[in-house]
């Protein structure tokens, strides 16, 4: 990992910081929307300029004099980013012109002594850019006019930023790559608090207001020489309650984050109890065969003696997920958190297990000797041989005489025996039945 210089994008809400961030990074990382204040947690990405590389951070919209606790938390995060930054880009709205909130943020930056570049965004023509430059120069910093949406002026911006970066080369730190861990769950179960507790600092805004996190936010942690990335996601509500397009897109990002992670941490509120939406989310993770851990948060709120009862309740509720490890924790007292990363490593290792074909066929003989496939419609199922098709999850293909004669009860038997034989008690597995007469014919295949 490199100690790279930091460039912070700051400004009032809805001036286009996230659109500019996506343009500079080269991919759609931050959610962009017409609604003000979409970005709340700061989002960090490595970005390549012309000759050098830095970390670019997209901060939430700053309202410095607001009495709203959430706005104050957003400003606190932006203030931390500005304090660490080597260069600050103050993004303004070129269509609206200079705004009193722009002047307030500029005044704060003048006191910081940081190198500052003003970007007049939403400027689509050189003529308009010339007019704006004189207006925004009143802030006392260099000004560049751009259109983040269309790319106008962005090359000049990149050159200007690079000229302001420190000339020292980044220092390399050797860290073994670790896991990418998505943190999912319904709103207000403590996902952001969990990440903050694990990394040991308040990188994410925590609020009793449900839906505070809207984007998928990456937070890095180095532990014992390994580099982990936590992806904090928006709370997932029942589809019928997701009314706004912004929330729909946030939930979609959450699902995508779970699919692309090495291991997903599904957080439930142990003090409140398991609800129907928790079950639906767990069923989605199981259906997609995503390696995950159930984390029962807020055990500090349980009354004395309630812990064991809650554990039994959760285990009974999620009995269909016998492979998903269950860990109870508290982000307040830190109870249980010490075992989370080692457990995630075990889940990931199992999801990547590959079993040699010879061992699998010895397993077939053992399993069928122990319990023969049942007779269905006068025909007994036969397994000729098996192989492993892929990992993540481990996917096993059984070549049989007729997939239709293999009932779900026998498939559960095979899955249980597979897990015992090859130590796969913490990962999802997928079993595929395929006719030996036509291995590529999807009509003669069944999956479980």
Mean of the pLDDT values across residues 307-330?
A: 88
Give yes or no for residue 40 having a pLDDT over 50: no
Cis peptide bond N-terminal to 393, omega within 30:
yes
Side-by-side strand order, sheet with 143-145: 43-48, 53-58, 6-10, 87-93, 116-121, 143-145
Confidence band for 418, pLDDT divided at 50, 70 and 90: very high
Percent with pLDDT over 90 in the chain: 36
pLDDT at 362 over 90: yes
Mean of the pLDDT values across residues 76-93?
86
pLDDT of 84 over the 90 cut: no
Contact 282, 315 (CB under 8 A): no
pLDDT, residue 187, reads 83
Q: Give the pLDDT band (50/70/90) at residue 411.
A: very high
User: Which pTM was predicted?
Assistant: 0.68
pLDDT tens digit sequence for 296-313: 999 999 888 788 888 888
The pLDDT tens digits for 167-213 are 765 555 566 778 999 998 888 888 888 988 888 766 544 434 444 44
Q: Please report which confidence band the pLDDT of residue 369 belongs to, taking 50, 70 and 90 as the band edges.
A: very high
Could you tell me the domains of the chain?
2-171 (3.40.50.300), 176-350 (3.40.50.300), 357-447 (3.30.300.20)
Check residue 61 and report its DSSP letter. Answer: P
Cβ contacts of 424 within 8 Å, gap of 6 or more: 323, 350, 353, 394, 418
By percentage, how much of the chain surpasses pLDDT 70?
80
Model confidence at 356, pLDDT cuts 50, 70, 90, reads very high
Confidence of residue 437 (pLDDT cuts 50, 70, 90): low
d(CA 444, CA 433): 8
Secondary structure (DSSP) of 122-136? S--SHHHHHHHHHHH
For the cut 70, the answer to whether the pLDDT of residue 327 exceeds it is yes
Q: Hey, what are 192's tokens? A: 């952001």
Confidence at 443, pLDDT banded by 50, 70, 90: very low
pLDDT at 90: 94
DSSP-based three-state secondary structure for 111? helix
Measured CA to CA in angstroms, residue 118 lies from 4, 58, 236, 238, 322 at distances of 22, 15, 37, 42, 55
CB 279 within 8 A of CB 236: no
- In the predicted model, what is the mean pLDDT of residues 105-124? 89
**Strand 6-10 versus strand 87-93 pairing type:** parallel
Confidence band for 214, pLDDT divided at 50, 70 and 90: very low
Reported as a single tens digit per residue, the pLDDT across 215-272 is 456 788 888 888 898 887 765 555 444 344 434 444 566 677 778 899 999 999 998 8
Q: Is the pLDDT of residue 37 over 60?
A: no
In angstroms, the CA 417 to CA 359 distance is 13
Mean pLDDT of the chain: 82
Q: Are 278 and 306 in contact (CB under 8 A)?
A: no
In sequence order, what DSSP letters do the residues of 153-167 get, joined into one string?
Answer: THHHHHHHHHHHS--
Characterize 121-148 residue by residue with b for buried, 16 or more Cβ atoms within 10 angstroms of its Cβ, and e for exposed.
Answer: bbbbeeebbeebbeebeebebbbbbbbb
Structure tokens at 120: 């007049």
Helix (H) or strand (E) holding 313: helix 306-317
Out of 19-23, 128-132, 350-354, pick the least confident: 128-132
- Distance separating alpha carbons of residues 313 and 269, to the nearest angstrom: 13
């Amino acid at each position: 990992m490199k100690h790279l210089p930091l460039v912070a994008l700051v400004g009032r809400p809805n001036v286009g910081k996230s659109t500019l961030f996506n343009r500079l990074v080269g991919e759609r990382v931050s959610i962009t929307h017409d609604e003000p204040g979409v970005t709340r947690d700061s989002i960090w990405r490595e970005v390549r300029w012309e000759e050098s590389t830095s970390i670019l951070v997209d901060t939430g919209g700053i309202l410095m004099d607001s009495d709203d606790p959430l706005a104050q938390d957003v400003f606190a995060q932006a203030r931390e980013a500005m304090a660490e930054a080597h260069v600050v880009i103050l993004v303004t709205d070129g269509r609206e012109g200079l705004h009193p909130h722009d002047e307030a943020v500029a005044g704060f930056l003048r006191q910081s002594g940081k190198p500052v570049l003003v970007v007049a965004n939403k400027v689509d023509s050189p003529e308009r850019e010339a007019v704006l430059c004189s207006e925004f120069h009143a802030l006392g910093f260099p000004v560049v006019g751009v259109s983040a949406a269309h790319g106008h002026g962005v090359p000049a911006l990149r050159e200007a930023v690079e000229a302001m970066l420190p000339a020292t080369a980044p220092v390399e730190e050797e860290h073994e790559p670790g896991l990418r861990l998505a943190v999912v769950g319904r709103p207000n179960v403590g996902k952001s608090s969990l990440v903050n507790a694990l990394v040991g600092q308040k990188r994410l805004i925590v609020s009793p207001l449900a839906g505070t996190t809207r984007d998928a936010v990456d937070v890095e942690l180095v532990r014992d020489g390994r580099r982990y990335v936590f992806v904090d996601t928006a709370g997932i509500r029942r589809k019928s309650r997701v009314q706004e397009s912004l929330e729909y897109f946030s939930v979609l990002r959450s699902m995508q984050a779970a699919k692309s992670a090495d291991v997903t941490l599904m957080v439930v509120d142990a003090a409140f109890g398991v609800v129907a939406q928790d079950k639906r989310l767990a069923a989605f993770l199981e259906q997609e065969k995503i390696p995950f851990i159930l984390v029962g948060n807020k055990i500090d709120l349980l009354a004395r003696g309630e812990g064991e009862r809650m554990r039994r309740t959760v285990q009974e509720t999620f009995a269909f997920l016998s492979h998903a490890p269950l860990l109870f924790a508290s982000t307040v007292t830190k109870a249980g958190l010490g075992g989370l990363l080692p457990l995630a490593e075990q889940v990931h290792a199992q999801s990547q297990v590959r079993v040699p074909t010879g061992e699998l066929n010895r397993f077939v003989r053992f399993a069928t000797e122990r319990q023969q496939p049942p007779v269905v419609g006068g025909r007994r199922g036969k397994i000729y041989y098996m192989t492993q098709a892929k990992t993540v999850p481990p996917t096993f293909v059984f070549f049989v005489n007729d997939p239709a004669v293999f009932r779900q009860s026998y498939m559960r038997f095979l899955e249980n025996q597979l897990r015992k034989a090859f130590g796969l008690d913490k990962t999802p597995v997928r079993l595929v039945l395929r006719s030996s007469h036509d291995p590529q014919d999807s009509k003669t295949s069944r999956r479980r």
